[in-house]
Amino acid sequence: MVAEPVPASRVLMGAAKPNAILPNHSLPSSECQSCNPVTPGESSVPANLTASTSVHATPSLAHDFLELTKPRIVTMILVTTLIAAVVAAGGGISGLLLLHLLVGTAMVAGSAGAMNQVWERKIDCEMERTRRRPLPAGRMSVGVAASFSTLLGIVGTAYLAFTCGPIPAIVGVVTWITYVPIYTPLKTRSAWNTTVGAVSGALPVLIGYTAAGGSLFDVQGWLLFGVLAAWQYPHFMAIAWLYRRQYREAGFQMTTTVEPTGRSAGWQSVVGMVALVACLVGLAIGHWESSYLITGTWIVCLILVSYPMTKAAWMFARDRNDGTARKLLRASLLQLPASLLLVTAAAVLS
């Protein structure tokens, strides 16, 4: 629950946009309806734009509620939660339990995304990509959005508790708290927001792991957590470098804005990759009892799929520029699904 995933197609074309960092250069912020309410009878749209904008259909209320939950982030969370559940159960998991897990997790994650938008509604007014969201566009009131988030979070937590157990529900609550009242305001106050965001983004794997019978004391579950947390460092350091000017203009305290040379971002990327590979190897070593040859094969495969990202992180640390940062970002979008697919296959086949 950190940031919306960057579409791979946009990254490959060199036009990726990180979440919530683009200042609005096309229209003045005074046109954001929720931040500057319109007097009844007045139009918030300039006359010369009315004709061109009237042809676009107004999003439905259902669409606005869905957008409020940040569905792309929720989708990524559900994928990692599902993988963690399969790894914990070794493939032998009930389809009904998986359904309950996904429904409950989606509600809790959607609640966090909605409250995040309530919290950042004024910042969203200033950014081209986010100013059309329900709150800054004035299509929904703060009260309605906050009530929706609260209700969704309570129902989702209760649903997880009754269908998957109290531990997954508690982990869901901890994830929500880490993301909303801690990570969200920290983005404009400290570069440590990346660390807190990495923790928040990795915690959902423990929801899936414990729901499928795993324990919070299992090393395997925390290694999965480590994979997700460590991966986020090189991934988001690359984004922070590519869009450091936009981050600075939007008021976000990122590593590349407080330390503009990029040295810290570069070495954090390398350290993140070392930790990522170590966690992946640790997961493979957990299968030593089946066969040394098979386990060794898994280790080699995991190292190989991580090599391009490791190399990209090293190159970025040595030479911070847009080219090396973009290569690192591209590599990260390929490494995570490939490594998680291998981890899942190892759990199912072992």
Report pLDDT digits (tens) over 28-60: 334 455 554 433 333 333 444 343 443 445 678
pLDDT at position 217 is 94
> What does 173-200 look like in DSSP terms, one character per residue?
HHHHHIIIIIIHHHTTT-TTHHHHHHHH
pLDDT at position 124 is 75
| Every domain range in the chain assigned CATH 1.20.120 | 218-350
| Every domain range in the chain assigned CATH 1.10.357.140 | 69-215
Q: Return the CATH architecture of domain 218-350.
A: Up-down Bundle (1.20)
Calculate mean pLDDT across residues 117-136.
Answer: 80
pLDDT at position 182 is 95
CA angle 110, 147, 74 (to 5 degrees): 5
Q: How far apart are the C-alpha atoms of 242 and 295, rounded to whole Å? A: 38
Q: What is the chain's Cα-based Rg? A: 21
- Per residue in 109-126, pLDDT tens? 999 999 998 988 887 777
Instruction: Check pLDDT > 80 for residue 81.
Output: yes
Give the pTM. 0.81
DSSP state, residue 37: P
> What does 87-123 look like in DSSP terms, one character per residue?
HHHTT---HHHHHHHHHHHHHHHHHHHHHHHHHTHHH
- Per residue in 270-328, pLDDT tens? 999 999 999 999 998 876 566 788 888 899 999 999 999 999 999 999 999 999 999 99
CA angle 132, 138, 142 (to 5 degrees): 110
Task: Pick left, alpha or beta for residue 213 (phi over 0 → left; psi -120 to 50 → alpha; otherwise beta).
Answer: left
Give me 124's structure tokens.
Answer: 């969203």
Q: Return the CATH architecture of domain 69-215.
A: Orthogonal Bundle (1.10)
Find the helix packing angle between 95-119 and 142-163, rounded to 10°.
160
